[in-house]
Amino acid sequence: MKKIFLTLIALLSINITSQACDKGCTMGGSYMGILPQFHKNFVGLRYTTRSYTTTATHGPHVQVTDEHFATAELWGRFVPVKDVQVFAFVPYMLNEQTGGHHTIQSRGFGDVTLMANYSLINTGDKMDHNLKHTLQVGGGVKLPTGAYRKQEHGEQLAPNMQPGTGTTDYLVNGMYTIRYKQLGLSNDATYRINTENSNGYRFGNRVSASSNLFYWQNVKGISLLPSAGVYYEHAEGDQYEGAPNLQKGGDSFFTNVGLSVYVKNISVGGTLQLPISSTEAHHHTEGNSRSMINLTYMF
């Protein structure tokens, strides 16, 4: 079984070709990862990074722009009653854009997200079952708590460089996990419905989905959870005052490789996402690798 799992990791680590959105659109933020021990509350910190490199050709001139987006996030899960899970996310954004001879930096708290899931099926924590599975459905709301009118040198920053969006957005999600003994498969999907802010800007709706194979292994009081899988994002084009904007949206595929380590009530983990992204015409946007590290306390 271990040989089969390691072979699957090697196969899934091969990058997948995809088409990315123009100018490094803000598509991320809905990756939940693998969440075991469904009956427990937890609070944690996680740090995620993603970046894009855009090459624009204007006649004989070539302009290269790098955009880096990092998020330090406080998040948690609360189980008020059986089969109900409530999630909260409080992000701090660290955005940077470099191109030519200038660098733009933007820092600040982003938009708080609240979500709730209900377990339609839940045998995930039953010790007397070899075959276990859980099905959760739910939704939530992203609140306009982050700044979205920050300026630099008297000019307002681009919408994708702002810590917040200035909108109340809505999310619908579902998660299904099936596990036989130590080997399992975790799947999740999220659809985000975005609204227009007071500047007249509206980010396109987003869809994200992931599927990850994992293997649960106990070694002398330490639990190891290696995983590998795929992650997909789709973004509709953005709009400004009802008209299509240069942010044209697109699709991206990633492969995931991750490892979580559990010691009593503490878990430490990391995930690496490996993409290859490209666009047509005079703009070429390449999505670079993404990463996430996290520290969680369960109670």
**Domain ranges, ordered by start, for the chain:** 34-298
Name the pTM for this structure: 0.83
What's the confidence (pLDDT) of residue 286?
75
Alpha-carbon separation of residue 22 from 52, 65, 124, 238, 251 (angstroms): 10, 12, 41, 11, 10
- pLDDT score, position 154: 78
Residue 63 has a pLDDT of 81
Give the least confident one: 63-77, 180-194, 238-252: 238-252
Give residue 24's pLDDT.
38
Strand, coil or helix: 6: helix
Q: Look at 282 and 167; give whichever has higher pLDDT.
A: 167
Comparing CA positions, the residue from 31, 57, 36 lying closest to residue 232 is: 31
CATH fold, domain 34-298, is Porin (2.40.160)
Does the pLDDT value for residue 96 go beyond 50? yes
Q: How many residues does the chain have?
A: 299
Least confident of 22-26, 181-185, 232-236: 22-26
Question: Region 62-75: what's the mean pLDDT?
Answer: 91
Q: Residue 84: pLDDT above 80? A: yes
**Is the predicted pLDDT of residue 248 greater than 90, yes or no?**
no
What pLDDT is recorded for position 21? 37
**β pairing state of 17-19 and 266-278:** parallel
Lowest mean pLDDT, pick from 114-123, 127-136, 144-153:
127-136
Q: What angle do CA 159, 138, 272 make, to 5 degrees?
A: 60
pLDDT of residue 126: 62
Amino acid at 157: L
What DSSP letter does each residue of 178-190 carry, written as one string? EEETTEEEEEEEE
Spell out the long-range contacts of 120-127 with Cβ–Cβ below 8 A and sequence spacing 24 or more. 122/38, 122/83, 124/36, 124/38, 124/177, 124/179, 125/37, 125/38, 125/39
Amino acid at 153: H
Q: What is the dihedral of CA 39, 119, 269, 289, to 10 degrees?
A: -170
DSSP 3-state of 4: helix
Least-confidence region, from 18-22, 35-39, 193-197:
18-22
User: pLDDT tens across 154-171, in order?
Assistant: 788 989 899 999 999 999
Least confident of 183-187, 197-201, 236-240: 236-240
